[in-house]
Amino acid sequence: MLKGSIGPALAIGLVLSAAMARADEVGERARKGPADRDPSTVASTWFDKLYDVIKSEAISPPPASRIYGICAVALYEAVTPGAAHHRSLAGQLNGLDRMPKPKAKAKHHWPAVANAALARTIRGIFPSLKPENLAGIDALEHDFAAR
């Protein structure tokens, strides 16, 4: 008798656990900031482009890894103000003392923020790109800006 009642109790427990987990997930999604709701398409496409630029410009591995790190921090810092549970890395990384704050209560399109931040950062890291790489960066920036 005890053995037969464990199966249904276990099933009910699993169903309730799944329902509570789903409710927590929905509640968590509602608490997230707008930047957390956007897909990572802009970031992943830009990092694919960065890979192509690094390969084309023949950057050796140690500097390439620093470039990826700089771009990742720039992206993170750009969208952090729009993310609910993230905080700036300012004061945690050497040389990163303060970050500018967006205007209070201003609405931001976070994919556009990410697009602009990565385009500007990559251009700043590579002041003298090959023309085809610069054209690719410009085209990608304009493509995302037009969406």
pLDDT in the model for residue 112: 92
Could you tell me if 68 and 129 lie in one domain? yes
pLDDT in the model for residue 97: 86
pLDDT in the model for residue 33: 65
Rounded average pLDDT per 10-residue block, the chain, 147 residues: 40 36 39 74 96 97 95 93 86 86 82 94 94 97 93
Could you tell me if 75 and 139 lie in one domain? yes
pLDDT in the model for residue 100: 83
Could you tell me if 122 and 108 lie in one domain? yes
Could you tell me if 122 and 66 lie in one domain? yes
Using DSSP, state whether 147 is helix, strand or coil.
coil
**Which residues span the domain enclosing 27?**
1-31
Could you tell me if 82 and 133 lie in one domain? yes
Domain count of the fold of the chain: 2
What's the one-letter identity of residue 71? C
Could you tell me if 123 and 58 lie in one domain? yes
Could you tell me if 19 and 44 lie in one domain? no
pLDDT in the model for residue 32: 53
Could you tell me if 16 and 79 lie in one domain? no
Could you tell me if 43 and 98 lie in one domain? yes
CA–CA distances in Å: residue 75 to residues 16, 25, 38, 128: 39, 25, 14, 22
